[in-house]
Amino acid sequence: MSTMNISLPDTLKSFVDEQVAQGSYSTSSEYVRELIRKDQDRLQLRGLLLAGAASAPAAPADPAYFKGLRDRVRKVAKVGARG
């Protein structure tokens, strides 16, 4: 694991220290790692949303679509139960 030193204004350092003191995180490093993971997830979701928005329209998700989906899931479940 690599080490990174960061500088924070007193107000932000106090906030991080409060998060650790409340027991949500065991160290300030754990808190920062969690923030970075959440930001990675947010960026991945944003990319997926943008890709979806740029893609061609798909068939509408109407009641028939969901019925077909349920039927396919039930069929797979039956085959898996026999196996």
Per-residue pLDDT at 74 exceeds 80: yes
Quote the pLDDT of residue 83.
64
Q: What one-character DSSP code corresponds to residue 64?
A: H
Closest CA to 32 of 10, 8, 55: 8
Q: Hey, which bits of the chain come out as E strands?
A: none
Other CB atoms within a 10 A radius of the CB of residue 33 amount to 13
3-state secondary structure of 2: coil
- pTM recorded for the entire structure: 0.66
Residues in the chain: 83
- Model confidence pLDDT, tens digit, residues 20-69: 999 989 999 999 999 999 999 999 999 999 999 999 988 888 999 999 99
